[in-house]
Structure 1
Amino acid sequence: MKTTIDTKTYSNYINNKWRESVSQKTITSINPANKEVVGYVQDSTEDELNQAVEAADNAKKEWRKLGQSARGQLLFKVANILESKLDEIAESMTKEMGKTLPEAKGETSRGIAILRYYGGEGMRKDGDVIPSTDKDALMFTKRTPLGVVGVITPWNFPVAIPIWKIAPALVYGNTIVFKPASEAAVTAAKVVECFAEAGFPKGVLNFVTGAGSTIGQGLADHPKLNGITFTGSESIGQRVARAASAAGIKYQLEMGGKNPVIVAKDANLEQAVEAVISGGFRSSGQKCTASSRVIVETAIYDEFKQKLIEATEKINIGNGVEEGIWMGPCASESQFNTFKKYVEKGKQEGARLVHGGEVLTGEQYDNGFFVTPAIFDEVTSEMVIAQEEVFGPFIALIRAEDLGEAIELANNTRFGLSASIFTSNISSIMEFIDEIEAGLVRINAESAGVELQAPFGGMKASSSGSREQGEAAKEFYTAIKTVFIKGS
């Protein structure tokens, strides 16, 4: 498939105007498949961030007054515009961060569905009537927006994650300052163009690109912020939490995982293998819910391992815009180097590399960040490769004697985002649901993936404890106001 190269320079969007940074500097977005330039975004200064926050702060009162129904109708308009640009935005995503075009189209479609879900929130209740001990009084709750919300998003889902944060924040009456990861900021800018075209009032949605140390940290520290939502690394998330806590504002963090899959001795092995490969290697393993530890009962360990290797060998790797490609490159040189580092670490720790872990070479690979999926055998739970998030196509196989040991091994991590089990035993399923320390629990399904209408978030170091998506989003983006009315 022949693609076009868009080398447009994208501006910040502040108070409904597209503005270049006073720094006169830009950040280059590179295609990880061939190192071609995808486009440029602004390397903004603190001054631009302050303008964006000021615009959002000035807009919050009138935006709240507009009413939930009218706000929802604007989200429906964004959904229709995004749908009309689905192919363009999906191709931009593939060229910018490497996931295959079918995956990118699926993610963009999900963004459209999220917008329509929260557009529907415009006509749903925003409180409850509560019986009062005074029979002549009316008591009820209503939801009130936080105010100005900072949105900081990663590069691995440059459409879905921003939308699942921005859409509920807007429909519940908040104004936004949005800072995307620089590695996927061109795609993020195209999404913001859809909001701009929909006709939101001035200052409701503001978009600023730039270095995390300047724009991201500056947003977290800003005195006019009323809430902040962040998805990204654990180390940066902790800094966001400290800043928000010091300011006394609401914060929401999703910080990754080291997600286990248990394969019990009574599992359907073909089903388990297919799900482990999809969960571990789709998007080159660059999902926070990706399967990275596969804990297999000894009775079927060797058979499962062989089937897993055989299936992995059939994966077609290449440029994600080409037809028939199953796995694209690592999203950046940084992720490429991280993957190689953990492959070497696994070898040093005494684990056995039984498949992949190699840098691909040849005409179609030499200019990109292509690797083969790595499968390590003879991994113990204390190894670094069993404890740290690789964020690449990397699976650590761990042996367990029985289900009890498997669950114990699965919980032996500071993370607790997602987990899955493959078994045909209902008692094993119930034990797993009760004992596993994860926010997303999946039975006979891959660890990656969550439906947009369901709460999403983790336990332990994976999350700040709050939940995103579905009705749960309302809990973060609003505060409850209790009202008591009595006649005079």
Structure 2
Amino acid sequence: MTTEYTNYIDGEWVASESGETFDVTNPANSDEVVSRHPSSTEADVQTAIDAAVAAQDEWGDTPGPSRGAILREAGELLAARKEEATETLVREEGKTRSEAGGEVQRAIDIFYYYAEKCRDLGGTVKSPSGTDKELYTKREPLGTVALITPWNYPIAIPAWKLAPALAAGNSVVLKPASQAPNSARILLEVLDEAGLPDGAANLVTGSGSTIGTPLAESEDIDGLSFTGSTAVGTAVARAASEDLTRVQCEMGGKNPTVVMPSADIEEAADIISVGAFGTTGQSCTATSRAIVHEDVYDEFVDAIVEAAESLSVGPGLDDPGMGPHVSDGELSSTLEYVDIATSEGATLETGGGKPAGDEYEGGYYVEPTVFSDVSNDMRIAQEEVFGPVLAVIPATDFDDALDTANETDYGLSASIITQDLTEADRFVNEIEAGVAKVNEKTTGLELHVPFGGYKDSSTNTYREQGDAGLDFFTSVKTVYRNF
């Protein structure tokens, strides 16, 4: 029998007023219904907002170390449930067991990190220009914030928004993606068990068009943090800006890795394979363009094809090299881009379809895919595919490779593989991306440093994670005290 869950509002698990629900199915076997959740309404959203607003003063007035103690306890409770959370994530999103376990651990570490940062929240003391005076700043919570999170990292991204928001003393309304809401539910369960006051954090599930828009447009929301596509994020930011709500949106990417002649080509192929095909390419920082110097282009194509063909594809619970897409819609989109790339003249080197075999019939599986002979004006080189599809683009020299890397509307993550320090330094200084890496994959982020993009990858307002995560969720007040 399918387990049916409810919203979490004002410290209680409650059904939607609509009485309607939606099913979450297993991407590895679409016949398996994993769970059932409320199709919430605008009225449900308003109830959650009201609860958060009512709870904000009490939570905001709670001493920072006390808030931190609750976050640490939540992290410990999540650690105790790690295996359960890992399997839940695999069954609703499709990641491999190893990928899901790493993501759950990241959520645990995020709670631990911000639990300690609660002790450092305060301000700075400055020197006044006169005697018998004090001049200092103090940080205060924004108030009530809305968090809209995607399905591709269904526990890590909610955690890296929830933890700093709560650490700073804000109350929260969280709307997770409908494809994978269970992981966020677990976060609310551990926060509740850890002793978070009623109403300080609330969870509502449902479609973005029905409940995301009211969150963005609400006059009671003081800050909105969104992660998702550029099209939706732009619309959300515009809606929120009508009331001058503070907004933070992290959106799409078309991330390049440049490969220069000094690179070890086998190592470069291994790095790019993980960046392109890990998490089934369903990451905003996934490597979607390999820009390769012409002197090593053919050697690299052979190596990356071998790497792609060596990956096993299967159900995430079996921990293969790559799991399925999250949904039929995402699978169809990837296959459509394969057709587009072929029609535009790119050469399909490997993959490009659904793997053969009865074991794949019930799931949203696709093969790791490599295209060569790609020019940077092709759609496959400019548009976010969000699947395990790599476009290999030739470059005549370093300057040509750098220009190609920057010739896109996105600017999230980028890397270079080289043993030349001059090339590495120039790349870091001249690449138009919020994350620049040397001899590393474009995916993978440390939790204690800022994360965000340039151009259409971000609203270019505030960064996430680390101290920057707290910057977004706090206002700074400057105090002048004359004795």
Q: What's the counterpart of residue 468 of structure 2?
A: 472
Partner amino acid, structure 1, of 2:354: V
Q: What's the counterpart of residue 358 of structure 1?
A: 353
Query: 2:12 pairs with 13, 17, 23, which one?
Result: 17
The question of 1:319 aligning with 2:315 is answered yes
Q: CA RMSD in A?
A: 0.8
**Counterpart Cα distance in 1 of 2:123 and 2:267:** 44
Which aligned pairs between 1:322-361 and structure 2 lie closer than 5 A? Answer: 322-323=318-319, 325-361=320-356
**Counterpart Cα distance in 2 of 1:401 and 1:65:** 60
CA contact (8 A) 2:133 2:480 kept: yes
Which aligned pairs between 1:121-200 and structure 2 lie closer than 5 A? Answer: 121-200=117-196
Q: Alignment partner of 1:398: what SS?
A: strand
**Counterpart Cα distance in 1 of 2:77 and 2:409:** 41
Q: Alignment partner of 1:321: what SS?
A: helix
Structure 1 stretches (4+) deviating beyond 4 angstroms?
A: none
The question of 1:375 aligning with 2:370 is answered yes
Q: What's the counterpart of residue 423 of structure 2?
A: 428
Q: Alignment partner of 2:180: what SS?
A: helix
**Counterpart Cα distance in 2 of 1:168 and 1:312:** 38
**Counterpart Cα distance in 1 of 2:206 and 2:279:** 25
Deviation at 1:303, TM superposition (A): 0.5
Partner amino acid, structure 2, of 1:197: E
Q: What's the counterpart of residue 285 of structure 1?
A: 281
Deviations 1:225-246 (A, max 9, x none): 0000000011110111101111
**Counterpart Cα distance in 2 of 1:126 and 1:293:** 43
The question of 1:483 aligning with 2:454 is answered no
Query: 1:394 pairs with 389, 403, 407, which one?
Result: 389
Deviations 1:252-280 (A, max 9, x none): 00012000000011112122111100000
Which aligned pairs between 1:14-413 and structure 2 lie closer than 5 A? Answer: 14-35=9-30, 36-323=32-319, 325-413=320-408
Q: Alignment partner of 1:364: what SS?
A: helix
Partner amino acid, structure 2, of 1:287: S
Q: Alignment partner of 2:289: what SS?
A: strand
Deviations 1:365-398 (A, max 9, x none): 0000111011111111011000000000000000
Q: Alignment partner of 1:9: what SS?
A: coil
Deviation at 1:191, TM superposition (A): 2.0
**Counterpart Cα distance in 1 of 2:93 and 2:59:** 34
CA contact (8 A) 1:360 1:366 kept: no
**Counterpart Cα distance in 2 of 1:22 and 1:245:** 29
**Counterpart Cα distance in 1 of 2:385 and 2:311:** 20
Q: Alignment partner of 2:360: what SS?
A: coil
Q: Alignment partner of 2:317: what SS?
A: coil
Q: Alignment partner of 2:348: what SS?
A: strand
Deviation at 1:214, TM superposition (A): 1.1
CA contact (8 A) 2:219 2:243 kept: yes
Give me the TM-score of the superposition, normalised by structure 1. 0.98
Deviation at 1:223, TM superposition (A): 1.3
Deviation at 1:194, TM superposition (A): 1.1
Deviations 1:177-225 (A, max 9, x none): 0000000012221221111111111110000001101111110011100
**Counterpart Cα distance in 2 of 1:27 and 1:99:** 21
CA contact (8 A) 1:237 1:253 kept: yes
**Counterpart Cα distance in 1 of 2:335 and 2:293:** 29
Deviation at 1:125, TM superposition (A): 4.0
**Counterpart Cα distance in 2 of 1:403 and 1:238:** 33
CA distance change for structure 1 residues 175 and 414 in 2, over 3 Å: closer, same or farther?
same
Deviations 1:412-453 (A, max 9, x none): 000000000000000001110111000000100000011001
Partner amino acid, structure 2, of 1:463: S
**Counterpart Cα distance in 2 of 1:65 and 1:187:** 29
Deviation at 1:486, TM superposition (A): 1.8
Q: What's the counterpart of residue 3 of structure 1?
A: none
Deviation at 1:358, TM superposition (A): 1.1
Query: 1:451 pairs with 431, 446, 461, which one?
Result: 446
Q: Which moved more, 1:185-194 or 1:283-292?
A: 185-194
**Counterpart Cα distance in 2 of 1:334 and 1:193:** 30
Partner amino acid, structure 1, of 2:82: L
CA contact (8 A) 1:14 1:206 kept: yes
How many positions carry a matched residue from both structures?
A: 481
Q: Alignment partner of 2:447: what SS?
A: coil
CA contact (8 A) 1:40 1:186 kept: no
**Counterpart Cα distance in 1 of 2:206 and 2:99:** 27
Q: Alignment partner of 1:471: what SS?
A: helix
**Counterpart Cα distance in 1 of 2:5 and 2:327:** 20
Q: Alignment partner of 1:10: what SS?
A: coil
Deviations 1:352-371 (A, max 9, x none): 11110111232210000111
Deviation at 1:484, TM superposition (A): 1.1
Deviations 1:459-482 (A, max 9, x none): 000011120000111211111100
CA contact (8 A) 2:16 2:40 kept: yes
**Counterpart Cα distance in 1 of 2:252 and 2:327:** 18
Deviation at 1:284, TM superposition (A): 0.3
Deviations 1:110-137 (A, max 9, x none): 1000000000011114210011001211
Give me the TM-score of the superposition, normalised by structure 2. 0.99
**Counterpart Cα distance in 2 of 1:361 and 1:85:** 36
Deviation at 1:7, TM superposition (A): 2.3
Partner amino acid, structure 1, of 2:378: M
Deviations 1:310-354 (A, max 9, x none): 12111010001014x110001111100000110000011111111
Q: Which moved more, 1:50-59 or 1:121-130?
A: 121-130
Unaligned ranges ≥5, structure 1: 1-5
